[in-house]
Amino acid sequence: MTRPSQPRTPVTTGREPGDLMTDHVSGDRMNGDRMSGDPVEEFMKRRKKATINDVASLAQVSKKTVSRVINNSPSVRGETRDLVNDIIARIGFRPDPQARGLAFRKSFLIGLIYDNPNAQYIVNMQMGALDGLRGSGNELVVHPCDWKGEDFLDEIRDFVELQRLSGVIILPPVAEDRNLLALLDELDVPFIRVTARSGDVNDPPIAGLQIVSVDRVGCEQAGEHLVELGHRRIAFIAGNSLYPSAHARRAGFEQGLAKHGLGFAPDLIEQGDYSFDSGFVAASKILSRVDRPTAIICCNDDMAAGAYKVAYELGLRVPDDLTIVGFDDAPIAARLNPALTTVRLPTRDMARTASEKLIGSDAKPGASVVFDSVLIVRGSSGPVPK
């Protein structure tokens, strides 16, 4: 535990009068000539935020060496490193992100870019992103935006450039914007997009790591589930076609039915936009027909809630008169009566993975991490009525 024979020249050491070191040979515990024992303790009494300079002067090395220790530079002798780390721990030094950022030209801020902030999956993903960032020294800056807005791209450019973001996470549906991806590429900021694998097996490769959900799997299960319950005349409420999830889900549901030689009733396919209201409207059309279906598949839970409302108003009982299936397993799914059969996606985990990959920077462009969806059977799906 003895300190190394001091390697520094005693001349022009740049010591100020206020410095805390004893002259000459020193040694850790033999400098008790002043009553106030430890220079470190002395320092702590000042109750001021420690800087790299404090560490340097207490450890009697240059700030550059401290910097090396902080950044795990290999060219620091083990003893020196231990000494510096010890001081750092004792005075509770933590490098200032602002100063560090200024020098590094990055901010240690991760931007979370998304549209429609109300959706439940956004909330989940925000939590997940925070999960992944925790303890990493990065903070999350949320940035809802108006995709499709006039100067969407300019606004993002400003945000990323001005804040010198360390990374960006893009959530659906914004994550589909090729122009945005190109912009981020141009700005040379690491980014990760969260998206749903579309129906096409081979999407064109794209910059940045992708976190991909396979909505299809759970949907397929859901489709089969309905057929097994005996349903033959099945309606469908589609999601906003700007979302790849809308296509992936539809493809999944259809494939589930197709496995048994079935498909959606062609006259009972309605376009929705993932909103409760659109679900209500679509279900109204569907259920007002004389030969109404025995089941409705909705591209998400919110639209399913709209279908519930229509059924309620028409006096149809779920699932006795009508089976309803959703997607998301949003909180509302369990709160509907009866609880909604739906498909669950690990949205929070997906976003956590996104931020972990982002800061871990093992984000090889083009690579992707895949998450599967799974069917959750609850009370809204039942055997076809006689």
337 binds, among DNA, a second copy, none (CB under 5 to 8 A by kind): a second copy
CA angle at 384 for the pair 283 and 324, rounded to the nearest 5°: 30
The three-state secondary structure class of 245 is helix
Bridge partners (DSSP) listed for residue 196:
213
Tell me the backbone φ, ψ of residue 345, rounded to 5 degrees.
-125, 135
- According to the binding rule CB under 7 A, does residue 46 interact with DNA? no
- According to the binding rule CB under 8 A, does residue 342 interact with a second copy? no
Sort 8 into a burial class: Cβ within 10 Å, 0-12 / 13-18 / 19+: exposed
Beta-strand ranges (E) seen in 240-377 are: 269-271, 295-298, 323-325, 342-344, 368-372, 374-376
Spatial distance between the Cα atoms of 48 and 344, rounded to a whole number of angstroms: 50
Which residues are within 8 A (CB) of 164 and not within 5 positions of it... i.e. 6 or more apart?
A: 101, 105, 106, 107, 109
Spatial distance between the Cα atoms of 307 and 319, rounded to a whole number of angstroms: 12
- According to the binding rule CB under 8 A, does residue 102 interact with a second copy? yes
Residues 128-167 as x/- pattern, contact with a second copy by CB under 8 A: --x--------xxxxxx-------------x--xxxx---
Nearest residue to 58 via CA among 102, 92, 88: 88
- According to the binding rule CB under 7 A, does residue 5 interact with DNA? yes
Residues 194-213 that bind a second copy (CB under 8 A): none
Contact pick of 36, 42, 104, 158 for DNA (by CB under 7 A): 104
- According to the binding rule CB under 8 A, does residue 264 interact with a second copy? no
Contact pick of 60, 107, 213, 380 for a second copy (by CB under 8 A): 107
For residue 15, the minimal CB distance to DNA (Å) is 8
For residue 304, the minimal CB distance to a second copy (Å) is 10
Residues 305-334 as x/- pattern, contact with DNA by CB under 7 A: ------------------------------
Nearest residue to 167 via CA among 140, 128, 148: 140
Tell me the backbone φ, ψ of residue 16, rounded to 5 degrees.
-90, 165
For residue 149, the minimal CB distance to a second copy (Å) is 13
1 binds, among a second copy, DNA, none (CB under 5 to 8 A by kind): none
For residue 287, the minimal CB distance to a second copy (Å) is 14
**Preceding peptide of 173 cis, ω within 30°:** yes
Tell me the backbone φ, ψ of residue 196, rounded to 5 degrees.
-105, 135
144 binds, among a second copy, DNA, none (CB under 5 to 8 A by kind): a second copy
Of 75-83, 115-123, 344-352, 376-384, which segment contacts DNA by CB under 7 A?
A: 75-83
Question: What DSSP state is assigned to residue 341?
Answer: B
Contact pick of 4, 117, 137, 365 for DNA (by CB under 7 A): 4
Tokens of 291: 């030969």
162 binds, among DNA, a second copy, none (CB under 5 to 8 A by kind): a second copy
- According to the binding rule CB under 7 A, does residue 99 interact with DNA? yes
Contact positions vs DNA (CB under 7 A): 4-5, 7-9, 12-14, 49, 51-53, 60-68, 70-71, 74-81, 93-96, 98-100, 102-105
Instruction: Point out which residues bind a second copy (CB under 8 A).
Output: 49, 94, 96-99, 101-102, 107, 109, 117-118, 123, 126-127, 130, 139-144, 158, 161-164, 276, 302, 305, 308-309, 312, 331-332, 334-338
